[in-house]
Structure 1
Amino acid sequence: MDYNNNHFSDENKETPAETTPEVHESEQQEEEFSTYKPKKEKKSGSKTGLHFFLGGLAGGLIAVVLIAVLLFSNILPLASTADENTSSDSSTANVVKTMASDDAEVSSNIDETSKAVVGVANLQQQSVWAGSQEAGTGSGIVYKKEDGKAYVVTNHHVVEGAEQVDIILNDDERLNAKVLGSDALTDLAILQVDGDKVTTVADLGTSKNLKVGETVLAIGNPLGMEFANTLTKGIISGLDRSVSMDTNGDQQPDWVTEVIQTDAAINPGNSGGALVNAKGQVIGINSMKIAQNAVEGIGFAIPIDAALPVMEQLEENGEIERPLIGISTASLNQVPPQYRSEIKLPEDVEGGMVVANVQEGSPAAKAGLQQFDVITEINGNKITTLLELRKFLYSDASIGEEVQVKFYRDGKLEKTEVTLTAKE
């Protein structure tokens, strides 16, 4: 998820999802700190080594090692680009009962589930003369058919930047898809297509009772549609993994996503495909892998229980509603030299988030926050990075909640109360 403007904001905006896993991702920037401009990544698919989700890890020493690997090695999103053919919030299964299937057959085994996994083509304008061409391909899962329409879940990074999205069925027929909603932080997108030619929908299981060592299969389109509906077998290697992601391309982690780890072979083009159990039930959505010569068999999928509430919001509202403070910020070490003289802090303060801009009429403005204030704590939680700020806002806080913000202004510690609102 890249940012086109000059600095961070806590307000969501759809932007390219590049992760450390390249997620991820989505904040409004203003024209402050004008020299700070994150580099814009190429859109869609797995052409970069860091892509979402494109966002440490539980388990003692294993967690420590894996965090280091994730932050300092290439994590590859699993979409396949047109010119690259090689790889170098909780819910329960009860939600599924509300999903209609109309005249489509609900998959009852792995073979049937593979029919519900489709190709997703990202078409972008290449030139005035060439018109729109396929910029990348990924995978998607048909999870519902209702009122003559079929609904497909895929990854945000598969469709980001697309001028047109096509769904490719098992018989190679293409259907033009409408993007109902896409969210960079969760790396999920919902597509809608005409359901006349869709005959099978996936059986969505639950990721609640998974066990390490359980057999799973990854279904998708590795390296593009030439190898459509490829199945690979493996096990669940780890649960409740926390992957740090860079969502704006500045090489700094700014989001964390909870994923299932598997050793089932997944490759570029598998993004958005299904991770299924032995019964053929979808228990995860494949999204990324570690791509490093010294690493084999470390792939990640979004748990279906975490994906379902996001899918429903995207289908109904087109976006995910999250709390807003109304500031653009940068961590202390990211502030350009020409602005550092404006920031006065006691010597013992080593970190914080510098306010670059306060949006007019926002909760921050009403609470009296100003440019160059340095936020160090919210509701007792230390805030020294964008990752910590986002994690608090999007995981621990709620819309309408009043939070206490501690900050330094002209070297003096102050505090204020901020009432969080929803993004407009």
Structure 2
Amino acid sequence: MNRIKQAFKDRLWLGVIIVGLFAGLIGGGIALGINNLVQHHEEVTSTRVPAGSNRSGGTKVNKNKADLNGEASQAYKSVQGAVVSVINKQKVQQSSGTLGIFGYGSSNGSNSNSSSDNKLETASEGSGVIYKKSGNSAYVVTNNHVVKGSNALQVILSNGKKVNADLVGADSATDLAVLKINATNVKTVASFGNSNSIVPGQDVLAIGSPMGSEYANTVTKGIISAKDRTLKAGTDGTLTSVIQTDAAINSGNSGGPLINTAGQVIGINSMKLASDTQGSSVEGIGFAIPSNEVVTIINQLIKNGKITRPSLGISMVDLSNVTSDQQQSVLKLPTSVSKGVVIMDVNSGSVADTAGLKKYDVITKLGDTQVTDAGSLKAALYKYKVGQNAKVTYYRDGQQHTATLHLTKSADTTSTDDSQQDNN
């Protein structure tokens, strides 16, 4: 009897357990289903585009919290009125006559009264900066290559007014030129800062007319990347020291000012590195002529209309262009000499002739400067003034010699010789 009761109890508890498990599974499934339904509803609600619209708007512009009078803004404002666009106008040939079937000429075969006249058109545009005002005249510094070949020049002031300009003087060796305009509408004149005091990393602004006067007074910001780069300038390959900057300098910026954050002109923008390296164009490398060099040149241009520099009176070629066999057999140079310039001709009565230099002499040093090519020789020579003396080191028949150059002769360096043999 007891066994029967115990078996009954065991079956009863087993049933309770089974019923409990079954109820739990059902309850959990219902809860899970409800939870999924809730999540689905929330997703649908959060992603559904709300009905209706806010026709009243309500968005507003907040007060500008940026500093509108920072150093860069103040520097730009102080110089902007002195920056101009320079227009180079040149003559173009135009023919006039009756337009026939096959072009200009009479369609019935008779001779037409054709004529040609010269008309001035814009050949190129650049930039410049007004740096001096004297009486009724104002003076603009720009690049020589901006005004080169012009038949007429015009300047567009910062207020958009266009005025005629006269060329006071130009110097191809430093790529600088000075223009004179009427000062009536000139309100702002830029000042120069000491370019010897600049340091790499300092902020600078470039102002000008990139791509022409349509974008006049464009300002770009960058830093001084290098204080003293040596590049070949002008068409004669003269080495010159320039400022390197990553401020954007594009076509049309040439002649515009590079300024520091005090608004002082520390350079005149001259060129951008345009060569490609392994198929990639170079960006962020622009160059400016240092202000100290600019001031020296423009003062001479104002005074004399040209730059007069010492001249040796020789024609020359780079030693690197002479074969190694000829260096040994003709020039008889020691193998230790690999750089310099070879004199190919000496003008009678010239500075070089007076000093005793002769054809096939190889100049390796001028003063304390090593001469590596024609450009470096000119750069070293142009540091001297007419009337000074300079020591020259050269090789003749394998022997090293020195001589004293009495720089009594001068050359007008506003024009250059593009021949293969450099003249100086």
1:270-349 mapped onto 2 (5 Å cutoff): 270-291=253-274, 292=276, 293-334=280-321, 343-348=330-335, 349=337
Separation in structure 1 between the aligned mates of residue 405 and residue 339 of structure 2, nearest angstrom: 21
Contact 2:333 2:398 in 1 (8 A): yes
Matched pairs, number:
311
Q: 1:177 to 1:405 in 2, by over 3 A?
A: same
Q: Distance in 1 between matches of 2:153 and 2:78?
A: 24
The match for 1:364 among 324, 349, 352 is 352
Question: What is the alpha-carbon distance in structure 2 between the residues aligned to residue 167 and residue 336 of structure 1?
Answer: 50
Q: CA deviation at 1:422?
A: 4.5
Question: Which residue matches 2:171?
Answer: 183
Q: Which moved more, 1:129-138 or 1:267-276?
A: 129-138
- Asked if structure 2 preserves the Cα contact closer than 8 Å seen for 1:175 and 1:194, the reply is yes
Shift of 1:115: 1.6
Cα 1:174–1:415, aligned 2, differ >3 Å: closer, same or farther? same
Looking at structure 2, the residues matched to 354 and 206 of structure 1 have their Cα atoms a distance apart, in angstroms, of: 38
Matched letter for residue 143 of structure 1: Y
SS at match of 2:331: coil
Which protein shows a greater Rg? 2
Q: CA deviation at 1:139?
A: 0.3
**Quick check: 2:75–2:260 contact (8 Å CA) kept in 1?**
no
Report the equivalent of 2:113: none
151, 155, 160: which one pairs with 2:143?
Answer: 155
Question: Does structure 1 residue 216 correspond to structure 2 residue 198?
Answer: no
Cα distance, 1:411–1:281 mapped onto 2, change above 3 Å: closer
Q: Is the 8 A contact 1:242 1:257 kept in 2?
A: yes
Matches within 5 A, 1:16-31: none
Higher mean C-alpha displacement, 382-391 vs 343-352: 343-352
Give, as a single letter, the amino acid of the residue that structure 2 aligns with 1:124. Q
What is the distance in 1 between the residues matched to 2:367 and 2:241? 22
Aligned to 1:205: 193
2:405 corresponds to 1:421 = no
- Which of 99, 112, 115 matches 2:81? 115
Query: Unaligned stretches of 5+ in structure 2?
Result: 1-73, 95-116, 412-424
Per the TM alignment, residue 120 of structure 1 is displaced from its structure 2 partner at its CA by 0.5
Match of 2:248 in 1: 265
Tell me, yes or no, if structure 1 residue 135 matches structure 2 residue 101: no
What does residue 415 of structure 2 align with?
A: none
- Offset at 1:341? 10
Greater fraction helix: 2
Amino acid at match of 1:289: K
Normalising by structure 1, we get a TM-score of: 0.65
**Counterparts in 2 of 1:230 and 1:413: CA distance versus 1, 3 Å:** closer
Secondary structure of 1:308 counterpart: helix
- Residue aligned with 1:286, SS: strand
Q: SS of 1:200's equivalent?
A: coil
Q: Is the 8 A contact 2:316 2:341 kept in 1?
A: yes
**1:356–1:132 CA distance, 2 compared to 1 (3 A):** farther
1: CA distance, partners of 2:261 / 2:388: 43
Distance 1:341 1:235 in 2: 48
Same amino acid, percent of matched pairs = 42
> 8 Å contact 1:254–1:385 — kept in the other structure?
no
Give the Cα–Cα distance (whole angstroms) in 2 for the partners of residues 179 and 118 of structure 1. Answer: 15
2:290 is aligned with what amino acid? P
CA distance in 2, matches of 1:325, 1:311: 24
Counterpart of 1:125? Answer: 91
Secondary structure of 2:308's aligned partner:
coil
Change (3 A) 1:401 1:112: closer
Superposition CA RMSD, Å: 2.9
Matched, 1:255 2:208: no
Cα distance in 2 for partners of 1:180, 1:275 equals 22
Structure number with higher relative contact order (C-alpha < 8 Å, ≥ 6 residues apart) = 1
Instruction: For 1:393 and 1:214, locate their aligned partners in 2 and report how far apart those are by CA, in whole Å.
Output: 32
Tell me, in whole angstroms, the C-alpha distance in 2 between the residues paired with 1:201 and 1:380.
Answer: 39
Structure 1: runs of 5 or more not aligned = 1-107
SS in 1 for 2:299: helix
CA, structure 1 residues 236+384, in 2 after alignment: closer, same or farther (shift >3 Å)?
closer
